[in-house]
Chains A and B, each alone.
Chain A
Amino acid sequence: MEFFINNVWIIPALPLWSFLLILFGRIFNVYENKYISLALTAGSTFIGFISSIFILFYCINNPETSTQYNILWLDTGNLKFSIGWLVDNLAAMMLVVVTSISLLIQIYSHGYMEQDKGYHRFFAYLVLFNFSMLALVLSTNLFQTYIFWELVGVSSYLLIGFWFYKPSAAQAAKKAFIINRIGDCGLLVGTLALLFYSLNWWTSSQNILLEFATLGQAGSLALANAGPVLFGLLALGLLFGPIAKSAQIPLHTWLADAMEGPTPISALIHAATMVAAGVYLIARLYPVFELSPQIMTIMVWVGAITAFIAATIAITQTDIKKCLAYSTCSQLGYMVLAMGVGAYSAGLFHLITHAYFKAMLFLCSGAVIHSLADQQNMKYMGGLRKKIPIVAYTYLIGTLAIAGLFLSGFWSKEAILLSLYIQGKNLLLIIALITAFMTAYYMFRSYFMVFEGEYRGHAHFHKPSKIMTVPLIILAVPSALIGFIFSGSLKSIGIGSFDSFIFYGHALHEAHVSLFLPICSLIIATLGFLLAGIIYWDKLKSLYCNCFKLVEKYFSPLYKLSTNKWYFDDFNNLLIKYLILPISELISIFDKYVIDGFINLCGISTLYKGKAVSLLQNGNIQTYLVTALLSFIAIITVVFLIYII
C-alpha cells in the first residue's frame, strides 16, 4: 500500500501517456483499430482505479496522515511554484469517485460513440480530461489547482464542441469556456492577492507556495495584512472560480448549453466530476473562506438561490438532458449551501453520492437518446420501460436516490438538512425543503414521461448494446447503497460514518438525532412523487382533476418564467449585445477614426502644406523674387535681433 501512496503520480500520468499515444498514433496513422484507443483509455483509468482503491483503504486505516510530494516547476526570483501530489482523505475519496465513474463511462462511451467518425478524437479528449481532473484532485497547492482547473475547462470545451460542425455545439462550447474564464479570472486575482498579502510568511516559512496544508495560517496572516474588506474581496475572487465551475448563479447558464456535447461527456464532466471540482475547491480553500463570515454568507445564499432557481427551471424542461442539467445545478447548489453553513462533511458526502447517481441518470438518458436516434425531447418518449427495462429500473433507482427516498441521496441530503436544522437557519431549511419537493417532482415527472405510459414518438427504436447497459447496472449499486454504507449505520462492521473520515477541523461526533427531520423530508419527497404521478402517470391519472390546467391558467407567468429559465440567458445575451459589443465597437471606432484619424490627419495635412507651399511655384519670376527677398529679410532680421539682444 505504501507503494501506491508513493507512486500516486501514476494515476494522472497514465492517462497523459495514453493521450500522447493516441495523439501520435493518430497523427502518424499507426493504427485504425478502435479497441486500441479504448484499451489505452480504459486501461489507464483501470490501473488508476485499482491504485485509488488501495490508497483509499490506506487512508481509512491511517486517517490522520497526508502525504505530499512536490516538484519545483517555476523558479524565478522569489516565485517558486511547485507541482506535485497530495494524498489525504479527501483526495483519496475523490480519486476513487473520479476513476470509478470515468472507467464506467469510458466503457459506456465505446457503445455510444462506436458509429461516430471522431471516435479516436473523442477518446483522446476523454483521456486528456481524465489526466487534468486527476491532477486537479491531487494538487498540492492553489497554483497547481489553477493550472488543472483551466485544463479541465479546456477539456470540457473540446468535448462540448466535439461535434463542432453543429453551430449550437460550437456556441455552447465557447460559452462554457468564456463563462468559466470569468471564474478563472476571479480565481487568479484572488490567488495573487492571497499570495501577495501572505508573501512574507511563505518566503520565511520555507513552505511550498500556496500549499493547501498550511493555507489556514497564511490566510489568517493575509487577513491581518489586508484588513477585512480587502480580504473579503480576495475571498470573493477565489469564490468566483467555484461559482463558475460548479454552475452557480449567476454563472450557471453554460451548464444547460453544455448538454450539446455527447451524453457520456455530460455524465462524466457536467454531472459527476468537473462541476463537482468547484465544491472540491471550496473544501480545499475552506481555511480561507472560513476567515471571512461575509463570504460564507454569500456562499450560503448563492447555493440556496441556485438550488431553488435551478429546481424551478428543471420543473418545466422537456429536454431530458436539460432537465438533468438543471437538476445537477440545483444539487450543486445544495453542496455549496452546505459548505457555506459549515456542513463540510455533509456537502462532500452529497458530492459523492450525487456523482454516482447523477452519472447513472445521465447514462440512462444517453441510452434512451441513443436508442431513439438522438431524440431528446421527453414529449416524444414514453412507455420505454417495456422496451428497455434495465435502463428504466436503473433510472428509477437514480430518481429515488436524487429525490431522497431512502437510497443514497436521502442520507447525504439528510445530513445537509440536519446541519441547517441544528444551526437554526430556518429560512434556508425551508428553501432546501421546497427544493427537495421540487426535485422529487421533476425527477419523477421525467421518469413517468420517459418510461411510463404510451410511446408518443415516431423514431425507430433500437436496443442499446450490452456495453452500454452493463455500466448502468454497475453504477446502480453505489447509487443505491453508498449513502447507507457511509451513513454510520454500519459502524459495527468497521465502516465508519463519512464525517468521521472526511471532516474539517475535528470530527463531528454524534449530534442529537431526531426523527422529525427525516420523516419530514420523506413526506415532502413522497408528495413530490405523488404530484408528478398525478399529472404524468397513467395509473394515477384518475386523480387528475383539471388541476394541471388550473395551474397553467393561474400560474402562467410563473410557468413562463420557468420555461424561459428565469431569463438568465436572455439577460446575458442582452448584456453582450447591448453593452459589451457596443463598447468594443465604440472603442474600435474610436481607434479607427480618432487615433488613426489623427495620425492620418497629420499625414494629410503635411500633404496639403506641401500643396500650399507649391502654390508659390506658379512660374512667375516675381513671385520667386518676393519669396527670396522675404526669406532674406527674415534671415537678416533674425541676425539683427540676435546681435541686438
Chain B
Amino acid sequence: MEFLSLNILIFAPLIVAGIILSPLFPNDEIIVRRFAKGFSGILFIYSILFMIFFKPYNTGYQFKETIKLFSNTNWIEPLGISLSFGLDGISVMLVVLTTFLVMLALIASKKSITTKHKLYYSLILVLTTAILGIVTSRDLFLFFLFWELELIPMYFLISIWGTGKKEYSAMKFVLYTFFGSLFMLGGILLLNYFHFLNTGIYTFSIEALTYSRHYDIPFIVKALIFLGFFIAFAVKLPIVPLHTWLPNAHVDAPTPVSMLLAGILLKMGGYGLIRFNTQMFPEMIKIFAPMLIVLGVINIIYAAFIALAQKDLKLLIAYSSISHMGFVLLGLGALNTIGITGAMFQMLAHALISAGLFLIVGVIYLRTKTRIFSHLGGLGQVMPKAFYFTMLLALASLGLPLLVGFAAEVMIFYGAFTSNSLDGFILSNQFMTALAAISIIITAAYLLWMLQKIFMGNMFEKWQKAYDLTPQEAIALTFLSIPIVLFGLYPEGVTSLFLPFVDNLVSNLAL
C-alpha cells in the first residue's frame, strides 16, 4: 500500500492544472480535453484503490500523511498548523464521489465549453484539489484554506463560461460563502484560543480538538463556535434562509459546473456538519438537534413547494436540490445511527441524481436553447434515450424503491421517526417526520410534471431536428445510472464503508 499516497491524490490535479496552463502545452482543444479526461480517469481509479484498501471497521483516520518542511518541522510550527491529511469513514466516500463526478463533468464538457479550453480544464482540476483537500485535511486551518480555495476556480468557472447574469451569480455565490466562512473562521480561532487557554498548546489538529473536548470551554463560547461552523455549512448545504445563492449559481453555471456544484460542493456542507458540528461538539448538537430537524423539514417542504411553481427547468432542479438536502439535515437531527447513515447516503444519492439531472438540463438546452417549460414538449419522440435516462433519474429522485434515493429516504424517515431528539406533540419527531413525508407527494408532482412538460405530449415542429444523446452524454449518464441502480438495490455496499464510523459517532453522542 506504499503507492497509495494522499499527497499524490490531492496535489496531482494541481500539478496537472499547472501543466495544462503552461504555455508549453499545446493549445489544441482536443488534446487538452483528452489529457484532462484521461487524467481524471486515472485519478478516479486511483481513488477507487483507496476505497478498496480502506478498513471500515477502523474508526480513526487512515492513510495518514503529514508533509514536513525541510527542517523537519510542521508547516507553521508556532501555531501548530500542519499539512496533514487522512481518510476516515465519511471522507472516503466523498473522495471517490469527487473524482467520479469530476471525471463525468469532464466527459460532459465537450459541447458546453467552447472557449478558453486550457483555462477551463485547469480550473476544474484546481477545484478538484480544493475539494479533495477539504474532505481529507486533518487540520482545521488547512481545511479552512481549502474551503476558501475552492471558491476561486468556482467564481471563474461560473463567471467566464456561464450564461445569463453570470457575473452576478458568481459574485453572489462567492460573497455568500465568504459570509458563512467568516463565522467559521471566528469559530476556528475561538476554538484554537480556548484550547490554548486550557492546555497551553496551540494546535489546529482536528483529532486533537475533537478528542480533547472535555476541557472546559464556557457554554456560551461553545455555542458560539458551534453556530459559527453551522452558519458556514448552512450556506453551503444550503439551509433555507441562506439558500438564495443556489438557484442563481446553478442556473447561470455551465452544465458541467452545475453538475459539480450540485454533486460535490453541496456535500461539503453536509460533510462539515457531520465532521465538526456533530463529531466535535456532541453535547451542543444534542441541544441544537430540534433546530436541525425543524430547519430540515422547512427546507424539504418549502423548497418542494417552490419547485412546484417554477417555469424554468434548471430552477426546478435547483430547488429540488435544496429540498433533497433538507433530508440530510433531517437525518442528522435524528442523532441516531440510522439517521446519520441515511443522511450520508442521501448525500451520495443526491450527488448522483442531481448531477445526472443537471446534465440532462444541459443536453436539452444544447438542442433547444431554452429551458422554459412552455417552450418545450414532446421531446420524447425525438430523444428517446434522453427520455429514458431522465425518467430513471426523476424516478430515483422522487424516491422510487430499489433506486438509490429510496434507501436514503427510508433510512432518514425511519431514523427521524424513531429518534427522541424532540419532545412535545407538534414539535415531536414523529409529527415533523410525517410532515416531511408530505414532500414525497410534492416531489413526485413536480418531477413528473417536469417529465410531462419536456418529453411527453405534443411536440413542437421546431424541435423535429433535435438529435438524441451524443456518445459522450450517453456514457456520462450511463456511468451515473449504474451506481444509482446498484446502490439502490444494495445500499449496504456503501453504508458499510461508514457505518462503523457513524456508530462510533453516535456512541460518542450518548456519553
Q: Which residues of A contact B (CB under 8 A)?
A: 74-79, 81, 146-148, 150-151, 154, 157, 161, 164-167, 169-171, 173-174, 177-178, 181-182, 184-185, 188-189, 192-193, 195-196, 199, 580-581, 583-585, 587-588, 591, 595-596, 599, 603
Contacts and interface: CB of A to CB of B under 8 A. Distances in A.
B414 A580 contact: no
A185 B440 contact: yes
- Top 3 nearest A-B pairs (CB, nearest first) are A77-B337, A170-B456, A147-B401
A584 B499 contact: no
A189 B341 CA distance: 20
B455 interface: yes
B417 interface: yes
B441 interface: yes
Interface stretch (B56-64, B100-108, B445-453): B445-453
B418 interface: yes
Interface of B: 172, 175-176, 240-241, 243-244, 302, 305-306, 308-310, 336-338, 341-342, 378, 380-381, 395, 400-402, 406-407, 410-411, 413-415, 417-418, 430, 433-434, 437-438, 440-441, 444-445, 448-449, 451-452, 455-459, 491-492, 495, 499, 503, 506
A286 B308 CA distance: 37
Contact of B401 (A75, A146, A189, A585): A146
Residue of B305, B310, B414 ringed by the most chain A CB atoms within 10 A: B414
Contacts, number: 141
A164 B455 contact: yes
Contacts of A585: 309
A198 B308 CA distance: 36
A75 B378 CA distance: 42
Contacts of B413: 188, 192
Nearest to A230: B430
Given A79-B411, A164-B380, A599 B457 contact: no
5 contacts: A74-B407, A74-B492, A150-B400, A165-B381, A181-B441
Given A147-B402, A196-B430, A599 B244 contact: yes
A148 B402 CA distance: 9
Given A146-B401, A174-B448, A192-B418, 14 more contacts: A74-B407, A79-B415, A150-B401, A151-B401, A151-B402, A157-B448, A166-B457, A167-B457, A173-B452, A174-B452, A177-B448, A189-B433, A588-B305, A603-B172
A581 B307 CA distance: 11
A309 B364 CA distance: 45
Residue of A76, A151, A181, A196 ringed by the most chain B CB atoms within 10 A: A76
Contacts of B175: 603
Residue of A151, A173, A585, A587 ringed by the most chain B CB atoms within 10 A: A587
Contact of B305 (A161, A178, A584): A584
Given A151-B402, A177-B448, A181-B440, A77 B456 contact: no
A76 B411 contact: yes
B440 A74 contact: no
B440 A188 contact: yes
A596 B244 contact: yes
Contacts of A595: 240-241, 243-244
A596 B492 CA distance: 40
A78 B338 contact: yes
Given A76-B411, A154-B395, A177-B448, A167 B456 contact: yes
Contacts of B337: 76-78
A327 to B, nearest CB: 28
B434 A165 contact: no
A77 B306 contact: no
Contact of B306 (A151, A161, A584): A584
Contact of B417 (A151, A157, A192, A603): A192
Contacts of A169: 456
Contacts of A580: 308
B377 to A, nearest CB: 9
Contacts of B395: 154
A178 B444 CA distance: 6
Contacts of A178: 441, 444-445, 448
